[in-house]
Amino acid sequence: MGRQLALTLAYLAHLLATATSSERQQHRVQQGRCSYTFILPRCEHCHPLKDFQVTNTLQRDSPPEAEPDTSQFKAGMAQKEEAFLAGEEWLQKLENFIQENVRSGMEEMKSTAVHTQTAAMLEMGTNLLSQSAEQTRKLTDVETQVLNQTSRLEIQLLEYSLFTNRLEKHILLQTQEISRLSDKNSLLEQRLLALEARYGKELQGLQSEKQQLQELVERQSRLVSQLQGELVSSTLNSTSLQRQQAALTDTVQQLLAMTNRCNGEAEAFARMHEPRTFRDCAEILRSGVTESGLYGIQASINCPSFPQVFCDMKTRGGGWTVLQHRRNGSVNFHRGWRDYKMGFGEPTGGHWLGNDIIHKLTSSQEYSLHVQLKDREGNEAFSHYDHFYIDGEDNNYSLHAEGFSGTAGRTSSLTHSGTQFSTKDRDNDRCTCKCAQLASGGWWFEACGPSNLNGIYYPSSSSVVRYNGIKWYYWKGPNLMATMTTMMVRPANF
């Protein structure tokens, strides 16, 4: 079967080879699953078959059809029958042709088989040639690659050789250096050995010194222990010494007490015989001075100044510190607050000692006041106050005078206690008027009051009644023509 198919195929191939040049008539025959296509030759090439007959075998397979009734149908049937007969004839011719051709085709097929084999061989040869060409191409590729690799490797080798050269140089240098260093090292070792030897000697010396020092230390510690022992005994001795010292301090204190007593006696002696400060004229008198005159006093401990005061050492036992004195009209008494505060005039002549000093003096201890007066006819009288003092400036030098006695009037011409001091510029009186301006001077005015020893000193020739002159009302009335006034103090317990 396979061989038959192969043969048919070869035949068909041959047919194809012969029919490629010109167009042919084609016919298809279906046999089972296979279909055969026949290409019919042209008439000019093929000689007409004389015995071409169409057998009616195929026609006969199918039964004849029933005859139609109509004539028309009969005519159609006759046409069809003619056509059928013509086809059957053609088929017969074809069968013959095929049989003839197959016979001649078999021979042709043999020759064409050889052809095809040679063609296949040729084809195989060309295939082999092309394959070998491809192989050679591949081989050349591989070769080039290998060459590339080898060249690269060579380059690398060159690089490596360069590198190794460099390394070798390096190593040479380093070996040289190492040799140099080893030379140095040997030198150093020699030196070290020398040094070691020296230090060893020195160490030995030091060790011997150390031993000596240790011996010294031992000796010194022995000494220290001895000293400690001595210290203990000395502390014992020191306690006894302290006791002795205490006894000595006792005796020293006794001696000091004795010397103090001696000093006290010496001071008392000095006080009696050396110049010193006095609080007032009474102290000066007690110190032994009996002459009236100017003396310095220390009015109080807080007042270190030494104002000059006039001391009356004659009147009624003396020891009087003069606060005010008038003898002629040479000193102006019509002054302001500040002048009366600080004092004015000469202590040897007409003057006012000063309210501040009077306050300090009379407030330091109890004083008595003595007022001495003399009129134009030369009559003398006095007013005495057992207790006298004035306040400070913060209280406007208020007057305090008690324990009146005397010959200048039966009652006191001084105003009552608490009367403030007034001047022409500081009016502290109980009058709607200003007494210090009316009566002139500075004084303890109480609605002007019965006295003013600081009024205007009128000359003795004047006989006119004046209300601003010196006044001591309860002695001579409102118009005292005094020629002399003195106010002075002395300790009450004198």
Ligand X SMILES: *[C@@H]1O[C@H](CO)[C@@H](O)[C@H](O)[C@H]1NC(C)=O
**Residues contributing to the site for ligand X (CB under 6 A):** 148, 230, 233-234, 237, 327-328, 330, 349, 395-396, 426, 428
Q: Please check whether residue 355 is in contact with residue 390, taking contact to mean a CB–CB distance below 8 angstroms.
A: yes
What is the distance of C-alpha 69 from the center of its chain?
140
- As a whole number of angstroms, the distance between CA 396 and CA 390 comes to 9
Shortest distance, CB of residue 459 to ligand X, whole angstroms?
9
Beta bridge partners of 50: none
As measured in angstroms, the least distance from the Cβ of 430 to ligand X is 12
Comparison of 82 and 393: residue with beta carbon closer to ligand X: 393
| Nearest distance, CB of residue 458 and ligand X, angstroms | 13
Give the Cα separation of 474 and 406 in Å (integer). Answer: 11
Distance from C-alpha of 444 to C-alpha of 34, rounded to nearest angstrom? 180
Q: What angle do CA 349, 351, 353 make, to 5 degrees?
A: 130
In the complex, least distance from residue 221 CB atom to ligand X, rounded to whole angstroms: 20
Least Å from the CB of residue 400 to ligand X: 14
> Closer CB to ligand X, residue 397 or residue 472?
397
**To the nearest whole angstrom, how small is the minimum distance from the Cβ of residue 244 to ligand X?**
11
| DSSP strand pairing (320-326 vs 308-312) | antiparallel
Closest contact distance (angstroms) between CB of 272 and ligand X is 35
Angle at 357 between CA 351 and CA 360, to 5 degrees: 150
Give the residue among 308, 283, 304 at the shortest CA–CA distance from 360: 304
DSSP state at residue 13: H
CB of 393 to ligand X, least distance (A): 8
- Of 296 and 349, which CB lies nearer to ligand X in the complex structure? 349
Tokens of 351: 């003057």
Phi, psi of 426, rounded to the nearest 5 degrees = -135, 100
Minimum CB–partner distance for residue 222 and ligand X (Å): 18
Closest distance to ligand X from the beta carbon of 156 (Å): 13
Looking at the Cβ atoms of 37 and 144, the one nearer to ligand X is 144
Our CB check for ligand X shows the closer of 87 and 336 to be: 336
> Least distance to ligand X from the beta carbon of 215, Å?
27
Give min distance, CB of 414 to ligand X, in A: 19
**Residue 14 or 325 with smaller CB distance to ligand X:** 325
350-380 core/surface letters (b: 16 or more CB in 10 A; e: else): bbbbbbbbbbbbbbbeebbbbbbbebbeeee
The DSSP code sequence of 52-93 is: ----SHHHHHSPPPPPPSSHHHHHHHHHHHHHHHHHHHHHHH
Which pairing describes strands 367-375 and 34-40: parallel, antiparallel, or unpaired? unpaired
Nearer CB in complex with ligand X: 326/471: 326
Q: How far apart are alpha carbons 188 and 416 in whole angstroms?
A: 122
- Distance CA(333)–CA(326), nearest Å, equals 10
Alpha-carbon distances of 257 from 82, 172, 189, 260, 265, rounded to whole Å: 201, 108, 89, 5, 12
Measured from the CB atom, the residue of 335 and 384 that comes closer to ligand X is 335
Residue 376 or 426: the one with the smaller Cβ distance to ligand X is 426
319: phi then psi, degrees, rounded to nearest 5: 80, 25
Pair of tokens at residue 96: 């013959």
Nearer to ligand X among residue 23 and residue 394 (C-beta):
394
- Is residue 307 within 8 A of residue 280, CB to CB? The reply is no
Give whole-number Cα distances, 126 to 120, 121, 131, 138, in Å. 10, 8, 8, 18
Q: How far apart are CA 207 and CA 37, in angstroms?
A: 136
CB of 378 to ligand X, least distance (A): 17
